[in-house]
């Protein structure tokens, strides 16, 4: 692997978004959130979300990190969803009403991921063709690298067995990263489970397995989709 490949791999997850409250010591990758928001937006007829980004609503008011953060992690604080959307040529609802429904759908989807969102800003970029799809730049970049549950070590074994963990992943490095002042675990959340519930279960399991007083932080790199009925 070249240095450029390594850098691209680290940038692929996008921003690491604070998950839950500051004391939870958890993050969710923007790459995992984006397709969830796009699916939620697809349920609103007449308007289409073409691009979406997430960041802090007020960076200057963000809380300090209570635990050592991963590289590119945002500090605790409410988030801002910024979306670019287009309107269908035969939309029957007024534009303000369409935007309001889309905004509520994004709030609801983010809340289901246990993200604290302070505001949703939408910019209407124009009119789309009826068969136009979501922007390729905002499609999921693929599943996070999978690490089997056979990864050795008590921390990995405990994390993989925690309720709601679909698998361990390796996006920023190994699935269990040991530092002098903390332990970081990477996981994917299984269908039907709330990310924050899984994070807390992983932290409890890994802390018990290591019997150490180092804080355990958790990075969620994927949220498995619900199967279509």
Condensed to tens digits (0 to 9), the pLDDT of residues 112-156 reads 999 999 999 999 888 877 655 545 444 544 455 555 444 669 999
Task: Choose the final residue of a domain: 115, 138, 161.
Answer: 138
23 is a domain residue: no
Q: Whole-prediction pTM value?
A: 0.84
110 is a domain residue: yes
The whole-number average pLDDT for the span 195-200 is: 97
Q: Are residues 123 and 158 in the same domain?
A: no
Task: Choose the final residue of a domain: 95, 115, 138.
Answer: 138
185 is a domain residue: yes
107 is a domain residue: yes
Q: Are residues 36 and 128 in the same domain?
A: yes
Which region among 89-93, 98-102, 160-164, 190-194 has the lowest average model confidence (pLDDT)?
89-93
38 is a domain residue: yes
Nearest C-alpha neighbor of 30 from the set 88, 73, 83, 60: 73
Q: How far is CA 207 from the centre of its chain?
A: 23
15 is a domain residue: no
Overall domain count for the chain: 2
Q: Are 188 and 221 in contact (CB under 8 A)?
A: yes
Q: Are residues 130 and 150 in the same domain?
A: no
C-alpha 14/C-alpha 32 separation (Å) is: 9
Q: Are residues 134 and 198 in the same domain?
A: no
Res. 29: pLDDT tops 50: yes
Query: Which pLDDT tens digit goes with each residue over 44-91?
Result: 998 899 999 999 999 998 888 989 999 889 999 999 999 999 888 776
Q: Are 47 and 102 in contact (CB under 8 A)?
A: yes
Q: Are residues 46 and 132 in the same domain?
A: yes
pLDDT at 55: 96
Nearest C-alpha neighbor of 137 from the set 34, 224, 39: 34
Considering Cα of 88, then 93, then 96, then 100, what sign does the dihedral take? negative
Residue 148's CATH number = 3.30.70
Q: Are residues 196 and 124 in the same domain?
A: no
Q: Are residues 123 and 147 in the same domain?
A: no
Task: Choose the final residue of a domain: 100, 115, 138.
Answer: 138
Say which residues have a Cβ less than 8 Å from residue 147's Cβ, sequence separation at least 6. Answer: 156, 167, 168, 169, 170, 174, 175
Q: Are 163 and 187 in contact (CB under 8 A)?
A: no
7 is a domain residue: no
C-alpha 186/C-alpha 96 separation (Å) is: 40
Query: Which pLDDT tens digit goes with each residue over 160-179?
Result: 999 999 999 999 999 999 99
Residue 74's CATH number = 3.30.70.1350
Q: Are residues 104 and 186 in the same domain?
A: no
Nearest C-alpha neighbor of 135 from the set 204, 85, 190: 85
Element (H, E) at 34: helix 30-42
106 is a domain residue: yes
Domain range for residue 201? 143-223
In eight-state DSSP terms, residue 62 is P
Q: Are residues 120 and 47 in the same domain?
A: yes
Q: Are residues 37 and 109 in the same domain?
A: yes
């Amino acid at each position: 692997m070249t240095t450029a490949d390594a850098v691209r791999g680290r940038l692929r997850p996008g921003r690491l978004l604070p998950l839950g409250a500051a004391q939870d010591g958890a993050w969710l990758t923007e790459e995992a959130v984006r397709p969830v928001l796009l699916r939620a937006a697809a349920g609103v007829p007449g308007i289409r979300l073409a691009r979406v980004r997430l960041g802090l609503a007020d960076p200057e008011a963000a809380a300090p990190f209570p635990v050592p953060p991963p590289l590119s992690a945002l500090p605790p604080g409410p988030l801002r969803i910024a979306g670019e959307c287009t309107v269908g040529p035969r939309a029957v609802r007024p534009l303000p009403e369409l935007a309001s429904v889309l905004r509520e759908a994004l709030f609801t989807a983010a809340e289901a991921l246990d993200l604290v969102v302070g505001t949703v800003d939408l910019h209407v970029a124009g009119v789309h063709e009826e068969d136009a799809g979501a922007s390729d730049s905002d499609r999921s970049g693929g599943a996070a690298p999978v690490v089997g549950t056979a990864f050795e070590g008590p921390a990995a074994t405990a994390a993989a067995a925690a309720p709601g963990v679909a698998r361990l992943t390796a996006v920023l490095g190994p699935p269990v990263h040991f530092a002098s002042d903390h332990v970081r675990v990477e996981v994917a959340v299984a269908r039907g489970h709330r990310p924050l519930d899984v994070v807390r279960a992983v932290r409890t399991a890994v802390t018990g397995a290591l019997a150490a007083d180092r804080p355990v932080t958790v990075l969620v790199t994927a949220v498995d989709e619900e199967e279509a009925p």
